[in-house]
Structure 1
Amino acid sequence: MEAKTVSDSEMIRLRRWNLSLTLLHAAQVIAVLVLANGFAITVTSQFPSGPPGAASPAPEPLFDVAIGPVIAVFLALAALDHLLTATVFRSRYEKDLRAGMNRFRWIEYSVSATIMVVLIGFYNGITGITAVVLVVGANVAMILFGWLQEVMNPPGRAHTTMLPFWFGCIAGAAPWVAILVNLIGASGGDANQVPGFVYGIVVSLFVFFMSFAVNQWLQYRGVGKWANYGYGEKVYLVLSLVAKSALAWQIFAGSLAV
């Protein structure tokens, strides 16, 4: 089904939404920076010390990551994205929406969503530098496939391809498989040391991340209101706010409250 063009009245409403979301994200940035303690997680290294197949040495500390400021960063990136698309880059943003895409969303997500997945990995023991790099690469690839899905399916197209969407799903699944392996492995130990809030983070954020994929699938299948690209854009805005807020405050409650 061909996507409907975003109307002028919808553009005005989307600008208001973006300005409102700027304030909501910015307020959370300030709250986290003011209220969070100095809790940090150490990223480790485990470099080979012998021939292939030799026993690996114990992981060694590489650097510490202060969790509060990292949360503030992904919230601030969202605030900046919404502010720029409502002001400085408004004309480019609206032109893109009429062309059935939003490059600013994908640029922001490629950084903010990746930081979020890395944090979820941290809380499930994925702290080795090589594993972190792989998680970053897989998640960025997922986001870029989402962008490519939009580029390859402009309004007025004769045919819709879902290949970038499905390739993105495959790439995006990898970090979550790694997270679940660690979570299930830790849960199966004799002494279960996994805090309840970690389970909450994994379950809730997995649902939210999958909701982004469902939103795009509904857009490109033209299901109901999603036949209008502007409706899918509003769903992205809501999902982004709720997912970022859920992760930020679950982590805060579990490990950053003074």
Structure 2
Amino acid sequence: MEATGVTASSLSRLRVWNIGLAVLHALQAALVLALATGFAITITSAVPQGPPGSAPPAPEALFDVRVGAAIAVFLALAAVDHLLTGTVLRGRYDAGLRAGVNRFRWVEYSLSSTLMIILIGFYTGLTGFTEVILISGANVAMILFGWLQEVMNPPGRDSTTMLPFWFGCVAGAAPWVAIFANTLGAAEVPGFVLGIIVSLFVFFMSFAVNQWLQYRQIGRWADYAYGEKVYLVLSLVAKSALAWQIFAGSLAG
């Protein structure tokens, strides 16, 4: 059986959306590079030098990450994904949607959203190399659980399981707990900084809300093609908001 709402006309409209978003994301990536300063954040390492329980050594600088360039990569990843699914990989994209799965979305999200959560973590002091690895692992797990949610709920199913979705929520919550812990534990947190963190959290989680609505089949989200269109809207609105808020912070820095 085919996913609800995935028709020739809806696929044609989604193709237009994908090509349009590819152009818009690419333009934003180019604009970010043009406006970017040399602002960078240093990744550090603090490898233990003694037995367990010893005082940790002072962090050592490993390498710098230019925030402007990282944001441009974040936007470029979205541009490449939309360009490929709207052109040379359109056949596989359309076939996947008919089967209720968009593997390209999850591959791109595993890269772009992980890069974004790392950047958000940077702004709250999570700059240790091991912290970056742990945050990346938790975020990639969250995205892959989203992919599994689609695979385990094919069109024509008798019942829907939300277990992969909830498991993904648990994995995805870990980086945000660390981010809020560092933010609230700081000696002084300007109100606007806390506001930015909260708004970033809302935009970041909007993708999960869309999947929840899609698999609870609430209202228009009972139509799989409609949920896919909302993903595309969020790709523009939420990703742009995330990118430009982080980029504004780099200019202030």
TM-score (norm 1): 0.94
Q: Is the counterpart of residue 143 in structure 1 residue 143 in structure 2? A: yes
State the Cα deviation string for residues 76-135 of structure 1 (Å, max 9, x = none): 000000000000000100000011110000000000000000000000000011111000
- 2:200 is the counterpart of 1:205: yes
The C-alpha deviation readout for 1:124-157, integer Å capped at 9, x for no partner, is 0000111110000000000000000000101011
1:5, 1:155 within 8 Å by CA — same for their partners in 2?
Answer: no
Indicate conservation of the 8 Å contact 1:35/1:257, yes or no.
no
Corresponding residue for residue 109 of structure 2: 109
Q: How many Å separate the matches in 2 of 1:58 and 1:201?
A: 30
For residue 233 of structure 1, the aligned residue among 219, 225, 228 is 228
Matched with 1:243 is: 238
- Equivalent residue number for residue 181 of structure 2: 181
Aligned residue for 1:125? 125
SS in 1 for 2:82: helix
TM-superposed CA distance for 1:199, in Å, is 2.6
Structure 1 distance, partners of 2:190, 2:115, is 21
Counterpart contact for 2:3–2:99, Cα < 8 Å: no
Q: What residue identity is the alignment partner of 2:199?
A: S
Instruction: Give % identity.
Output: 73
Question: What is the letter of the counterpart of residue 205 of structure 1?
Answer: L
Cα offsets for 1:183-215 (capped at 9, x unmatched): 0001xx2xx2x4555334311121122221111
2:215 aligned to which of 204, 211, 220? 220
Say if 1:124 and 1:198, in contact at 8 Å, map to a contact too. no
What's 2:22 paired with? 22
Contact 1:32 1:68 survives alignment (8 Å): yes
Q: Distance in 2 between matches of 1:64 and 1:198?
A: 23
| AA matched with 2:202 | V
SS of 2:4's equivalent in the other structure is: coil
Partner of 2:45: 45
Rounded to whole Å, the distance in 1 between the matches of 2:88 and 2:252 is 36
Aligned residues of 2:3 and 2:97 also touching (Cα < 8 A):
no
Flag as ranges the 4+ runs of structure 1 deviating above 3 A. 194-198
CA distance in 2, matches of 1:250, 1:244: 10
Task: Tell me the secondary structure at the aligned position of residue 238 of structure 2.
Answer: helix
Q: Contact 1:124/1:179 (CA < 8 Å) preserved in 2?
A: yes
Counterpart Cα distance in 2 of 1:94 and 1:155: 14
Aligned partners of 2:71 and 2:145: how far apart in 1?
A: 25
TM-aligned CA deviation for residue 241 of structure 1? 1.6
Please give the root-mean-square deviation of Cα atoms over the aligned residues, in Å.
1.5
Decide whether the 8 Å contact of 2:203 with 2:241 is kept in 1: no
- Which residue of structure 2 lines up, in the alignment, with residue 170 of structure 1? 170
- Could you say if the C-alpha distance between residues 257 and 176 of structure 1 is closer, same or farther in structure 2, counting changes exceeding 3 Å? closer
1:148–1:164 contact (8 Å) kept in structure 2: yes
- Name the structure 1 match of 2:60: 60
Which ranges in structure 1 are unaligned for 5 or more consecutive residues? none
Structure 2 residue aligned with 1:31: 31
